[in-house]
């Protein structure tokens, strides 16, 4: 294949591809439908029964649609509540309603603005405003607005703008007369009924919309029954009798802004008054938007919707869902109350917890301080005992020297001393000996717990019998009777030599402090009490005066002189020290002097 052939083939392939592409694009374009018109929904307030409204407005909308290129309007005839529901659900683009309703809607919904104002045709005259007429009979004597004070007025109904509200506003503004307070109103249902009541003489005053009297009566003749218009106003170009200021007619409202607004406005404004659809509706067309602020002012002053919430949608909803709301708010209240209570009790708990923690910390600190103090006390006790031990031990040496040298002196000077000096020597040696005994006793006392055997489980009876054996000489000498009870003698945890010492001192005292000329009788017993063993050593001796019972356990405290009974006054102090060291208590009971004594001590039960 030549170079030229290859070029031709490539060219014809490219051309066929291009042809196919063009064909595909054409097929694609043909498969799309012609662009649809943008549909807008127009809601019209249904002031007459639905079929009547449909019949009147449908031709107008069809006519408008025929004028529109990009837009198609769909008509919906709706009641006031239906209109509001459609607004809530965003189903409307345009709406046509009466001026008062528009003021009400304007306050509750996002409306874009008024596109045009309806121009009515009344008696072949275009009218885009309305007002109110106050009619009074000749016989009523009413000349001015102020004359209406205290009168009863026939009105078609309170919801009528031209038949009631405009007059009420004017009376308030110009004559400061308030409806229901200064003027009584009687609702008779319609404009025709008001005229009828006046003509028949049933009412002296009545309110009707502007244009009504011209509809009912021949305008070339005076009004019947001497009726006359009170507070008559003159407005250039306005063809009807009127007693109040004028307010704009129905607004055509755009709910949402749309680029098609201009086109729609143009179609409505340019409606031909002579077109048959206009005759059907008895309208002249639409004019550029009027100012509706005067209506807003009127509604505000008279507390009409939306400034009177009684008729608002909110109230309707409240009415409809009252029980749900009541239930909901009760539940909400309960939840709130519960939450509040929970919050409060939580707060209380938190505070209590905090206080508890603080108390715990304070207790911990106090315990720590107590432990530190106990430790310090233990140290100082140890030091004191150490001191007592060292002092009593070391002081004995010089004391023995004094005694020895005094004795030597006494022997050496024996022949040269008179009796009195010998007695002095005797006192000095005796004092030194006595001091030595006391130091020895103190040494004994300080040795308790220091040099004693370690605690272990002991047979208490064995140590009791050991103590009695030590006391054998005294027992024989005094012919004492020691009775050991047949009780169960327990095992206890104690230091062996200290336990023997305890029995020894107490039984020894019971023997020593017996009644003169009477052999001592001692009974030793034991019994179990809560957590302890209670030992008792009872004698029939000299007894102890009740006020001295506590003193006897103090160091060097004696109730008798040495002449009466030998002793150092340390025995019972040692007993107390031993018992306390083992975790028990010691005390004495006595009926008094010559009544005998009973010494008790407790030791913890080792099985507890």
Interacting residues with ligand ADP (CB under 6 A): 509-510, 513, 539, 541-542, 544, 552, 558-560, 567-573, 597
Look at phi and psi of residue 449 and say left if phi exceeds 0, alpha if psi is from -120 to 50, else beta. Answer: left
Q: What are phi and psi of 95, to 5 degrees?
A: -150, 150
Q: Least distance in Å: CB of 542 to ligand ADP?
A: 5
3-state SS track over 555-576 = CCCCCCCCCCCCCCCCHHHHHH
Look at phi and psi of residue 517 and say left if phi exceeds 0, alpha if psi is from -120 to 50, else beta. Answer: left
CA–CA separation, 574 vs 380, rounded Å? Answer: 19
SS3 300: helix
Q: Least distance in Å: CB of 571 to ligand ADP?
A: 3
Residue 128 or 597 having the CB closest to ligand ADP: 597
Q: Least distance in Å: CB of 576 to ligand ADP?
A: 9
Q: Least distance in Å: CB of 574 to ligand ADP?
A: 8
Q: Least distance in Å: CB of 493 to ligand ADP?
A: 25
Residue 118 or 552 having the CB closest to ligand ADP: 552
CA–CA separation, 62 vs 408, rounded Å? Answer: 160
b/e 141-165 (16+ beta carbons within 10 angstroms → b): ebeebebbeebebbbbeeebbbbbb
Q: Supply the DSSP symbol for 485.
A: -
Residue 234 or 547 having the CB closest to ligand ADP: 547
Residue 231 or 568 having the CB closest to ligand ADP: 568
541 touches 597 (CB < 8 A): yes
Q: Least distance in Å: CB of 536 to ligand ADP?
A: 12
Instruction: Read off the tokens for 303.
Output: 């507390």
Residue 179 or 544 having the CB closest to ligand ADP: 544
Rg (CA), the chain: 64
Residue 267 or 572 having the CB closest to ligand ADP: 572
Residue 267 or 448 having the CB closest to ligand ADP: 448
SS3 181: coil
Q: Least distance in Å: CB of 587 to ligand ADP?
A: 13
SS3 414: coil
Burial of 301 per CB tally in 10 Å (0-12, 13-18, 19+):
middle
CB-based closest residue to ligand ADP? 567
Residue 420 or 563 having the CB closest to ligand ADP: 563
SS3 247: strand
CA–CA separation, 500 vs 460, rounded Å? Answer: 9
Residue 428 or 534 having the CB closest to ligand ADP: 534
Residue 51 or 516 having the CB closest to ligand ADP: 516
Burial of 132 per CB tally in 10 Å (0-12, 13-18, 19+):
buried
Residue 209 or 577 having the CB closest to ligand ADP: 577
Q: Least distance in Å: CB of 446 to ligand ADP?
A: 15
Q: Least distance in Å: CB of 585 to ligand ADP?
A: 17
Cis, peptide link before residue 191, omega less than 30° from 0: no
Q: Supply the DSSP symbol for 250.
A: P
302 touches 161 (CB < 8 A): no
Residue 463 or 576 having the CB closest to ligand ADP: 576
CA–CA separation, 176 vs 172, rounded Å? Answer: 4
Instruction: Read off the tokens for 62.
Output: 């069809």
CA 168 to each of CA 105, 136, 161: distance values in angstroms, whole numbers, following the listed order? 22, 15, 10
Q: Least distance in Å: CB of 420 to ligand ADP?
A: 31
Q: Least distance in Å: CB of 546 to ligand ADP?
A: 13
CA–CA separation, 423 vs 343, rounded Å? Answer: 94
Residue 67 or 548 having the CB closest to ligand ADP: 548
Q: Supply the DSSP symbol for 241.
A: -
Q: Least distance in Å: CB of 518 to ligand ADP?
A: 13
Residue 364 or 593 having the CB closest to ligand ADP: 593
582 touches 571 (CB < 8 A): no
Q: Give which of 341, 317, 134 is closest to 230, Cα–Cα.
A: 134
CA–CA separation, 410 vs 407, rounded Å? Answer: 5
Q: Kindly give, in sequence order, each residue whose CB lies less than 8 Å from that of residue 303, ignoring residues fewer than 6 positions away.
A: none
Q: Supply the DSSP symbol for 161.
A: I
Q: Least distance in Å: CB of 394 to ligand ADP?
A: 23
Q: Least distance in Å: CB of 511 to ligand ADP?
A: 8
């Amino acid at each position: 294949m030549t170079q030229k052939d290859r070029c031709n083939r490539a060219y014809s392939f490219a051309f066929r591809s291009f042809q196919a592409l063009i064909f595909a694009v054409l097929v694609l374009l043909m498969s799309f439908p012609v662009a649809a018109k943008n549909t807008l929904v127009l809601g019209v307030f249904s002031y007459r029964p639905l079929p009547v409204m449909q019949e009147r407005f449908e031709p107008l909308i069809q006519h408008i649609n025929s004028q529109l290129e990009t837009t198609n309007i769909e008509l919906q005839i709706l009641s006031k509540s239906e209109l509001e529901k459609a607004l809530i659900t965003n189903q409307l683009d345009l709406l046509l309603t009466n001026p008062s309703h528009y003021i009400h809607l304007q306050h509750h919904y996002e409306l874009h603005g008024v596109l045009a104002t309806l121009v009515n045709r009344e008696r072949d005259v275009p009218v885009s405003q309305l007002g109110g007429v106050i009619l009074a009979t000749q016989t009523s004597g009413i000349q001015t607005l102020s004359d209406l004070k205290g009168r009863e007025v026939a009105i078609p109904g309170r919801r009528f703008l031209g038949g009631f509200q405009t007059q009420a506003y004017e009376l308030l503004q110009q004559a400061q007369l308030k409806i229901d307070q200064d003027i009584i109103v009687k609702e008779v249902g319609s404009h025709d009924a008001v005229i009828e009541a006046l003509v028949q003489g049933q009412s002296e005053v009545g309110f009707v919309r502007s244009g009504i009297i011209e509809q009912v009566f021949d305008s070339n003749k005076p009004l019947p029954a001497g009726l006359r218009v009170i507070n008559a106003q003159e407005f250039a170009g306005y063809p009807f009798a009127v007693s109040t200021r004028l307010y704009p007619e129905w607004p055509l409202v755009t709910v949402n802004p749309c680029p098609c607004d201009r086109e729609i406005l143009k179609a409505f404004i340019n409606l031909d008054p002579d077109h048959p659809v206009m005759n059907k509706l008895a309208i002249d067309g639409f004019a550029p938007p009027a100012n509706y602020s005067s209506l807003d002012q009127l509604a505000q002053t008279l507390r009409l919707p939306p400034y009177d919430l009684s008729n608002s949608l909110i109230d309707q909803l409240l009415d409809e869902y009252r029980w749900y709301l009541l239930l909901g708010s009760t539940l909400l209240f309960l939840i709130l109350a519960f939450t509040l209570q929970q919050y409060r009790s939580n707060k209380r708990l938190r505070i209590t917890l905090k206080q508890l923690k603080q108390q715990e910390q304070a207790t911990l600190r106090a315990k720590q301080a107590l432990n530190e103090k106990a430790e310090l006390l233990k140290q100082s006790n140890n030091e004191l005992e150490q001191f007592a031990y060292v002092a009593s031990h070391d002081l004995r040496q010089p004391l023995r020297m004094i005694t020895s040298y005094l004795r030597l002196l006494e022997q050496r000077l024996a022949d040269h001393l008179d009796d009195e000096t010998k007695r002095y020597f005797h006192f000095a040696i005796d004092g030194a000996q006595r001091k030595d005994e006391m130091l020895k006793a103190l040494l004994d006392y300080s040795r308790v717990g220091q040099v004693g055997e370690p605690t272990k489980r002991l047979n208490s009876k064995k140590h009791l019998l050991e103590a009695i054996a030590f006391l054998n000489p005294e027992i024989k000498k005094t012919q004492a009777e020691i009775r050991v009870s047949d009780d169960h003698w327990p095992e206890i945890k104690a230091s062996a030599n200290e336990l023997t010492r305890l029995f020894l001192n107490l039984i020894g005292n019971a023997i020593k402090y017996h009644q003169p000329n009477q052999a001592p009788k001692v009974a030793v017993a034991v019994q179990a009490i809560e957590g302890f063993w209670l030992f008792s050593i009872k004698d029939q001796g000299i007894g102890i005066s009740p006020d001295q019972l506590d003193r006897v356990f103090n160091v060097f405290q004696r109730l008798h002189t040495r002449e009466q009974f030998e002793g150092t006054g340390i025995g019972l102090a040692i007993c107390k020290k031993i018992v306390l060291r083992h975790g028990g208590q010691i005390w004495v009971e006595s009926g008094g002097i010559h009544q005998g004594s009973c010494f008790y001590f407790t030791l913890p039960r080792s099985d507890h």
